[in-house]
Amino acid sequence: MLESLGLGLPASTVYRAMLDHPDLGVTRLAEECGMSPVQVHDCLDELGRLTLVRASSEHPGQMRAVSPEVGLADMLAREEAELAARQADLAVSRAAVTRLVAERAASQAAHGERLLGMDAIQGRIEQLARAMSQECLGVHPGASHRPEDLAAARAADEEPLARGVVMKTLYQDTTRNDPHTTVHSHWLLSHGSEVRTAAVLPQRLVIFDRTHALVPIDPADTRKGALHVTEPGIVSALLGLFEQTWAGAVPLGAVRPDDPRTGLSDTERELLSLLAGGLTDEAAGQRLGISSRTVSRHMASIMERLGAASRFEAGLKAAQRGWLEVH
């Protein structure tokens, strides 16, 4: 029992013997405890450091045991004081850890939390979709979308749509020819959502209640992961990008007529601008969600209308007629 207070077993044995036989000297204590006199002296030194023995007034040269009510109470008080000091140190350490965790959480909130892989992205979308109460804005570039991704989006959208959350979705013009995306878009429309398309879209983007945004870590491969952003300045800039694109997009079901001045469709006008800006056929096709072969077909049609024998000549004539708006 006394070992828990820092008293070794031999010293505890000597202390008990001294309490039971207060008149015993070192030699008799050694016999009583089955120790050598040297071991008893060592125990007395230990007991002295713990103030459990004191010099005897009645027997000079001998030590007397301090009663447990006093000696052990003092030991308990010292242990309690040390424990209180350790608890205070622990409280300081706990506060430091709490501050560190809070600082890291604030840093993640300000600079964005990385979500790696589609499972992590889909899980976060489900959480945010369940928590949002007003509006969801989405930009989804690409000529087509995987049926399984559209199915996952529908599963996440059903509950907030039933609660009256407004959804605005932007697809690329070329998705009008993709049956899976078209079916999903009409499902959104049937549930009160708005869907528009544009020839060129910015990178993939989803904004929840104008306070949380998900953007791809790598725009070239959006399945790698996403960045969850809540910093107001960044979210505001992304909102501006969405609203600018939305304003120029065409509602699904409507068809924007060719430009009466140039006779160019939206896709052709954007293609001219992208190629004039230095993009290759492949890069321009990726931006527009069309193949390089389709790019060539569009350019052949434009060259014919301009009466140009080469792309270079087509570029000059398009610039002269004011058809170009370089990005």
In this predicted model, what pLDDT tens digit does every residue of 95-115 receive, in sequence order? 666 566 555 555 555 556 888
Q: Does 77 reside within a domain?
A: no
Higher per-residue pLDDT: 135 or 265: 135
Higher per-residue pLDDT: 107 or 48: 48
Provide the 3-class DSSP secondary structure of residue 281: helix
**End residue of a domain, out of 33, 50, 66:** 66
Q: State mean pLDDT over 43-58.
A: 80
Q: Does 51 reside within a domain?
A: yes
Examine the domain organization and report whether 233 and 271 are in the same domain.
no
Q: Does 14 reside within a domain?
A: yes
Does position 327 have pLDDT exceeding 50, yes or no? no
**End residue of a domain, out of 216, 251, 286:** 251
Examine the domain organization and report whether 136 and 191 are in the same domain.
yes
Does position 124 have pLDDT exceeding 70, yes or no? yes
How confident is residue 207, by pLDDT bands cut at 50, 70 and 90? very high
Quote the domain boundaries for residue 136.
Answer: 114-251
Does position 26 have pLDDT exceeding 80, yes or no? yes
The percentage of the chain sitting over the pLDDT mark of 90, rounded to a whole number, equals 4
CB 140 within 8 A of CB 169: yes
Q: Which pLDDT value is given to residue 258?
A: 52
Examine the domain organization and report whether 119 and 212 are in the same domain.
yes
Q: Does 86 reside within a domain?
A: no
Q: Does 186 reside within a domain?
A: yes
**End residue of a domain, out of 34, 66, 98:** 66
Q: Which pLDDT value is given to residue 131?
A: 86
Examine the domain organization and report whether 225 and 294 are in the same domain.
no
Cα-based torsion angle of the residue sequence 290, 296, 301, 303 in order, rounded to the nearest 10 degrees: 130
CATH code, domain carrying 43: 1.10.10.10
Number of domains in the chain: 3
pTM score of the predicted model: 0.50
Examine the domain organization and report whether 241 and 122 are in the same domain.
yes
Q: Which two tokens stand for residue 148?
A: 């399984």
Q: Which pLDDT value is given to residue 137?
A: 93
Q: Which pLDDT value is given to residue 197?
A: 85
Q: Which pLDDT value is given to residue 208?
A: 93
Q: Which pLDDT value is given to residue 200?
A: 78
Rounded-to-integer distance, Cα 43 and Cα 70, Å:
19
The percentage of the chain sitting over the pLDDT mark of 70, rounded to a whole number, equals 85
Q: Does 118 reside within a domain?
A: yes
Does position 145 have pLDDT exceeding 80, yes or no? yes
CB 314 within 8 A of CB 299: yes
From the number of C-beta atoms within 10 Å of its C-beta (0-12, 13-18, 19+), residue 244 rates as: exposed
Examine the domain organization and report whether 147 and 32 are in the same domain.
no
